[in-house]
Amino acid sequence: MADRRVVLSWSSGKDSAWALKTLREAPGIEVVALLTTVAEQAGRVPMHHVAEHFLDRQVAAAGLPLIRIPLPSPCPNDVYEARMRAGLEAIKATGAREIAFGDLFLEDIREYRERMLDGSGVSPLFPLWKRDTAELAREMVAGGLEAIVTAVDTSLLDEAFVGRRFDDALLDALPDGVDPCAENGEFHSFACAGPMFDAPLRVRAGAKGRWERIVYVDLENA
């Protein structure tokens, strides 16, 4: 039996998918569940704009139960924090005392997570922290991770990138100043195949939509 039971914060994107692979390869760690926030009115994963039924298929392919935290829209910070506290109780009910995040280098995000967890009985874990993002992005591709860019912040990156596969060609095409792992929010993705899944998800990019400065695509079955 593993010494440490861990729940992974799951965005549906490439970084959380690679964090799952990394955690599963770490000695003494067992990932026992995934945790995702969902916009309850839209039925989508926030930021990534992924419909819930694709999230459900993804989680099933990962072979793990999902702790689902519904969020209203708009979601005031006090409501968000209250619902996350309820999520922490669900984490502890699994026997886990750690929650892992796929964060890479944004210090303010890490500090916020640590502050939120302080005194909760659940500790944060950052398995990809401070990895060189150029190297990490290439490692993901070489390691068999497949993902679709589902949303682009058009103030940071041209909307032509939305709907593209996350692969070497995309990485080669990114303009200077755009982080290869999009840690600054340049784009978001949906992981659809890789060593963290039992089987690939046959999906493709569908119709585009726009929400303020975000251009996104709906996923379709391929």
Strand partners, 7: 33, 99
- Token pair listed for 105: 């280098």
Q: Of 189, 142, 192, nearest to 162 (Cα)?
A: 189
Please provide the distance, in angstroms rounded to a whole number, between the alpha carbons at the two ends of the chain: 39
Name the band, by pLDDT with cuts 50, 70 and 90, for residue 220: very high
- Cβ atoms within 10 A of the Cβ of 99, count? 23
The phi, psi pair for 171, rounded to 5°, reads -60, -40
Q: Of 185, 203, 189, 202, nearest to 140 (Cα)?
A: 189
- Cβ distance 45 to 11 under 8 Å? yes
pLDDT in tens, 108-165: 999 999 999 999 999 999 999 999 999 999 999 999 999 999 999 999 999 999 999 9
pLDDT in tens, 201-211: 999 999 999 98
Q: Exposed/middle/buried for 49, CB within 10 Å: 0-12, 13-18, 19+?
A: buried
Domain architecture of the chain: domains with CATH: 4-125 (3.40.50.620), 133-221 (no CATH)
Kindly report the average pLDDT of the chain as a whole number.
96
